[in-house]
A and B are shown apart, each in its own frame.
Chain A
């Protein structure tokens, strides 16, 4: 078993209600849940790997495919849309030379959309990893990216 997961589980225990905290901790370290991570978690919790996969895919912020080191999630919901999220998307796509849903070849960024993140009053908004960026303009979005380059 992966030593990271062993270490996490040694702190959380393997009660069924600890499943999500374990996943969140793995995500905070590795960005995504790998196939082996899910198998290891299933084994430790004595549940099926399909169940782990089912829980993981329910949550938007638990990814099961490999992501770049920094994850950009731009809000796709209506307020941000009205305030020009499309322009922001275009600017980021042009700057990173990838499309939405893709990861840069150097694994530095993955660019995703997300449902409402609760910043409608300061839309358009996005988050990079855990940091929120609001009232975006194309220029501000590029400056935000540069913080993580």
Chain B
């Protein structure tokens, strides 16, 4: 029992682990203590004081999040003094807060609003001190509204601890303390990667995504527009959370029906272009390997090859390590490949002028909004992807349209750009691009299935921040004989802080990998900045389980067997990494400043 301590909370006795904070000890035992600055993914800040409790031996209230239990301690979470102090704190926060909640994008999903309701705070206890703030709308992805900020610093800790970016910092002190950027520059002009992890953790409406719902309704309601929609793999395993389902519920079929119900003319799937990405990126990797090992063919870039699906990761590399851009696969992300093909291949076959096509993406991501607006993303001759909505925004549209989601029948995507394999679904989880690439590349090189039970490449699965695997290639087909006996080394990193760790190893010459999958967000896309708020390690694990279940449930689980992918190469693209692919499906990158 020496690892346990005996404590009393509200006159009930408990034996709890000795290193727990009072907050954790209480929550484990079903006693709720309110918090604002505390977050399961982040270090302890102890600055909001919402979790103050009465403890024996202290005449001052102590913050439960930052106080560790001790033997025999008696804790009171529900005294008059505790309740009144919390109420006072909320009132003071409200006096500096823009309380026009009806105009706030977080209305109904705001931790401060919830607490105000719980404690009966109406915002009129103190005179309003909320000053005029300029709302930062510079970024196409994220809006920063300081009039809603309670200075809990979750965003600052997210940007530092999880992402290692530090685009946001605490500036000034005391009453003038603000969350800001370098020299208070607009977000669009600093190192912000648009990953949106701060948006996922902001307890109020101070950081939100830029909302494009009205633009999408306008397109749908415009009879001259043919509006097609694509949904990323990680949307179907999280959308349910926006609509009242528990985390990890797969709602793929209902989501497709709901999209039709919203009025989209065609419902396609980003998974189709995820499979296509595997063909392009896998081929690119084999070409890079061939050039490195035999000197034959032209150089397609350096090894290790970096994956290029995550726009947050790409912007991070452009800012922080522009000297490594030649490692980045030139493949566009599945979202952008889809946009280009919708306005070329699909437009041709459907006989629709691409000028009349509007491409909408539903993404688990805020950075995709930025990616869609990158100036080079116009290979179709038009803006390839017109509007990007997050999973949250789609949930909002479904509610706004009055669709009874639960009663919807399952349906499938439209054909041409809709078929997909289990491999594509894996893109939604960290390690998924790697697993999908390995399933296909291994089979191309050896003619055999990858030697893992049920095709599950387990070393690249799971939530470890950095994962790696090495597989020795034996009995390669004659065309790939130069790979015979080569030990293929791969690595996977998610969350930009982990990404940074791998890149620093590489700079020191201690990362001799051939292919590395990098994802900006913790957990990969399933933990993306556009996913339903709130996020915890448990919620992300449930979503990950759902990704693997979705892969397992599909009849085809290898990208190179996707019938529509085979079809598009035969009818339109020619061969992977061929002339047409190069023009439509590949891109280039921009070195950016580090500030």
Contacts and interface: CB of A to CB of B under 8 A. Distances in A.
B183 A48 contact: no
Contacts of A64: 183
B172 A50 contact: no
B173 interface: yes
Given A42-B595, A49-B595, A54 B169 contact: yes
Contacts of A49: 182-183, 190-191, 594-595
Given A43-B594, A48-B166, A53 B173 contact: no
Contacts of B190: 49-50
A121 B190 CA distance: 47
A94 B163 CA distance: 52
Contacts of A78: none
Contacts of A43: 594
Interface residues of B, number: 17
A25 to B, nearest CB: 21
B471 interface: no
Nearest to B165: A48
Interface string B148-171: 000000000000000001111111
B167 A50 contact: yes
A43 B595 CA distance: 9
Interface string A45-62: 001111111100110000
Interface of A is mostly: helix
A92 interface: no
Given A38-B182, A48-B191, A53 B172 contact: no
A99 interface: no
B594 A50 contact: no
A43 B594 CA distance: 8
A50 B173 contact: no
4 smallest A-B Cβ distances: which pairs? Answer: A48-B166, A54-B169, A49-B595, A50-B169
Interface of B: 165-173, 180-183, 190-191, 594-595
Nearest to B168: A50
Given A42-B595, A58-B172, A53 B182 contact: yes
A75 B170 CA distance: 26
Contacts of B183: 35, 38, 49, 53, 64
A52 B190 CA distance: 14
B173 A48 contact: no
A48 B181 CA distance: 10
Contact of A48 (B169, B172, B180): B169
Contacts of A69: none
A123 B119 CA distance: 47
A54 B595 contact: no
A35, A54, A58, A64: most-surrounded residue (chain B CB, <10 A): A54
Contacts of A47: 166
Nearest to B156: A54
A51 B172 contact: no
A54 B167 contact: no
